[in-house]
Structures are given as structure tokens and as C-alpha cells.
Structure 1
Amino acid sequence: MNKTILITGLVFGLLAVVLGAFGAHGLKRVIGPDEINTFETGIKYQMYHALFLILLSMLPNISNGTRNTVFYLVFAGVVLFSGSIYFLATNALTAFDFKKIGFITPIGGTLLIAAWGYLIFSVLTKK
């Protein structure tokens, strides 16, 4: 078990629940339904990858190099993908136009895809 990866997954999960509650109870009064749906997309992907990190921390027969590479890809992917979605969904509440940095959302998504792909490749090529 890798404690750092496990704790990161647990923290991502906790934050997804907190942000989900905030979105459901606090944001519904100040942003529209489309923005709420966008915000919830960020939460879903954050939670999926929190669970992925928890599983990754305990997977047997995965090298430390593979485990660390997947971890860093997921960590960066969640921060960029879900983080940018949270800011884009709440854009109307701030003076800064987060649409200017919207290009980081697909970068985050690409990192998440790369993490899954790298793990699949590592499992398939392991002797």
C-alpha cells in the first residue's frame, strides 16, 4: 500500500463530497441549472479518480514507477480538469473571466486519459 496515494485519494473523495454539498445547497441559489450540471461534472470526475487512487494505492504487482507515474497524471488531471470546471461553472460569481483559461480543462482530461492508458499498457506488458 502506498500511503501518499491512498491519502490523496481519500482527500479528493472528501473534497468531492464537500463540494457536492456546497453545489447542491449553496450554489443552486446563485448560478443556473447549466452551471450546476457543469459543476457536478467536475465533482463526478474528481470522485471517480479519488476511488481510482484508493484502488491504485493497493493494487498488487504494479511497480513503484508505474504507480507513481499514474498517481502524478491523475493528481494533475484532477486539479486541472475538475478545478477548471469548478471555476468555469462559477464564472459569473467572480470578477475574473475564467473562460480565458478554459483551455486547461481538456489538458486535465488528457492527463486523466493518459493515466488510465499508462496503467493499462503497464499491466498488458508486464511479464
Structure 2
Amino acid sequence: MNKQIIVTASVLGALAVIAGAFGAHALRSSLPPKQLEVWQTAVQYQFYHVFALLFLSTFSRFKNNTIISIYYLFTFGIVLFSGSLYLISCRGLFGMPGLAALGPVTPIGGLLFIIGWILLALSAIRNK
């Protein structure tokens, strides 16, 4: 098991639980349904990739650059994809409509996710 990956996944997993609970309880009455849906999408994708990180941690015996790259791709994908969606969904609460400018950051995070998944598949194919 890779300790760094597990610690990162654990922290991001705890934050996903907090964000999910915060959205379900504190934001439900403050955000319009569309913005709350954006918040929930951020939580879902964060959880998906936390589980992917935990799965990745089982490959510690390989300790190669590809596994490390996938770790960073998933981690930064969470920060950019979910992080931008969290901020965008709450822009009205913050009184900062300019946060909508973060919109182009979200697909960059999604692209990092996609590249990470492709590298994971290629790693599996190359492994003997």
C-alpha cells in the first residue's frame, strides 16, 4: 500500500463527506436547486476519484512514474473539477458573481481525470 496515496484519499474522502453533509443541510435552503445540483456533482466526482485513489494505492509494489502520475492527475483533477464546481455553485452566497469565470477550470479538471483513467488502463495493459 502506498501511504501517501492513502493519506491523500483519506483527507479528500473526509472533505467529500463534509461537503456532502454541508450541501444537504446548510446549503439546501440557501442555494437554488440548480446550484445545489452543481454542488452535488462536485461531491460525487470527488468521491469517485477518492475511491480511484484508494484502488491506485494497492499498486504500491509497482512504484513507477506512471502510478505517481495517475496519483497527481486524480488529485489535481479533484481540486480543479470539484473545487471549481464548489466555488461556482456558491458564487451567489459569496456575493461574487465573478466566480463564474472559473467555468473553464472545471473541464481542465475533467481532462486530468480522463488522462488519469487512460494511463491506468495503459498501465494494466503493459503489466505482465
Class of the TM-score when normalised by the shorter of the 2 chains: over 0.9
Runs of 4+ in 1 over 2 A off after TM superposition: 59-64
> Which residue of the partner structure matches residue 13 of structure 1?
13
Preserved CA contact (<8 Å) 2:81 2:110: yes
Structure 2: which amino acid aligns with 1:112? F
**1:70 is aligned to 2:82:** no
Structure 1 position 91, deviation (Å): 1.2
| Cα-Cα RMSD | 1.3
Which sits farther off after the overlay, 9-18 or 60-69?
Answer: 60-69
Structure 1 position 63, deviation (Å): 4.0
Question: Within 1, Cα distance between the matches of 2:11 and 2:89?
Answer: 22
Structure 1 position 105, deviation (Å): 0.1
In the superposition, the TM-score normalised over structure 1's length comes to 0.94
> Which residue of the partner structure matches residue 92 of structure 2?
92
Preserved CA contact (<8 Å) 2:2 2:60: no
Question: Percent identity, aligned pairs only?
Answer: 40
Which sits farther off after the overlay, 110-119 or 57-66?
Answer: 57-66
Deviations 1:8-54 (A, max 9, x none): 11111111000100000000111111111110000000011111111
Question: Within 2, Cα distance between the matches of 1:22 and 1:77?
Answer: 21
> Which residue of the partner structure matches residue 112 of structure 2?
111
> Which residue of the partner structure matches residue 125 of structure 2?
124
1:4-43 paired onto structure 2 within 5 Å: 4-43=4-43
**1:58 is aligned to 2:61:** no
Question: Within 2, Cα distance between the matches of 1:84 and 1:2?
Answer: 28
User: What are the ranges of 5 or more consecutive residues in structure 1 without an aligned counterpart?
Assistant: none
Deviations 1:45-89 (A, max 9, x none): 001111111111113664421211100000110000000000111
The size of the alignment, in residue pairs, is 127
User: What are the ranges of 5 or more consecutive residues in structure 2 without an aligned counterpart?
Assistant: none
> Which residue of the partner structure matches residue 46 of structure 1?
46
